[in-house]
Amino acid sequence: MMMRSVQSAVVEAPAGFAPGHGVLVVGHGTADPVGAAETRAVAEALAALLPGVPVELGFLEVIRPSIDDALHRLADRGCTEVVAAPLLLFAAGHAKRDVPEALVAAATATGQRVVQAEPLGCHADVVSVSRQRRRQALAGLSAVDPAATDLVMVGRGSSDPAAPGQLGEFAEASLAEDAVRPRRLLLGFVAAARPSLDEAIADAGDPGAGAVRRILVQPHLLFRGHVEEQVAAAVARGRAARPDLEWVQVPRLGPDALVARALACRAAAACARESMSRQG
């Protein structure tokens, strides 16, 4: 899905990497071969955006190469300074705990200096891709007044108390340029956080909130995997419970060229911060 967008889109890469610097793209890791291939596609697109900068991909869990593998490869390529750019949407448990711990353990063995970039968050390019996916899902469908549509924005979920607020902030940014807002914006999480996905699906279409004809369910996910399958199953349950409504599932973000550029910007910003801190 959408592999051609990585290969064909023309975007401008940020500058700021000095000789001896490398970039470690940190993927979450998945047993889904398509999801793994999509992760690799973004890492390859990032490398194309940063000619002359060594780029390696390491997965946090499930599959190889690991973060440790990737740091050793960068060391072999002469990189003493590394920016770790996590392919993560928000600052939750993985970004705050798991990735830093894995980086410290790996860097202790290689002797490299490693700084971690921020997650993708509400970067304008990621917001743009989210908006594009929603519009693509509606293309070719019969016209329905947005005011008769409920939008359910779905997050993976985290026990981190900041998770709901981060998804809500992103959803609002994604809707900012729409001429007419949906009737309601609902948030749902597949795991750990509340409201749960099933709660949000059950709440969508509530007749007490006014007339509704369409439920738009948008999983805020980067790549294909088990979580997206859970979203599809929840949409199917919603459709069975309310067959009078039109249910539309929006595609995941996928390996879009703008996702790669957002990752490059996060990496460049981390490199710049590290340089300034040394000068200070």
CATH classification code of 3-121+255-279: 3.40.50.1400
Say whether pLDDT at 8 is over 70.
Answer: no
Residue 84 belongs to what H/E stretch? strand 81-86
Say whether pLDDT at 269 is over 70.
Answer: yes
Average pLDDT, the chain: 90
Judged by DSSP in three states, 161 sits in coil
- Provide the pLDDT for residue 192: 79
The residue to which tokens 């999801």 are assigned: 35
The answer to whether 27 touches 87, Cβ cutoff 8 Å, is yes
Instruction: Provide the residue count of the chain.
Output: 280
Domains 3-121+255-279 and 125-249 share a fold: yes
Residue 13 pLDDT class (50, 70, 90 cuts): very low
Dump pLDDT digits (tens) for 94-149.
Answer: 788 899 999 999 999 999 999 999 999 999 999 999 999 999 999 989 988 888 99
- Provide the pLDDT for residue 5: 43
The answer to whether 238 touches 124, Cβ cutoff 8 Å, is no
Span 158-175, average pLDDT: 90
Span 54-78, average pLDDT: 95
Dump pLDDT digits (tens) for 176-200.
Answer: 988 788 999 999 999 878 999 999 9
Nearest to 156 by CA among 128, 110, 187, 125: 187
Which residue has better confidence, 32 or 1?
32
CATH (one of 3.40.1380.20, 3.40.50.1400, 3.40.50.720, 1.10.630.10) for 125-249: 3.40.50.1400
Whole-structure pTM value? 0.91
Residue 57 phi, psi dihedral angles, 5° rounding:
-105, 135
Extents of the domains making up the chain: 3-121+255-279, 125-249
Listed in sequence order, the residues at least 6 apart from 274 whose beta carbon sits closer than 8 Å to its beta carbon are 81, 83, 115
Residue 26 belongs to what H/E stretch? strand 21-27
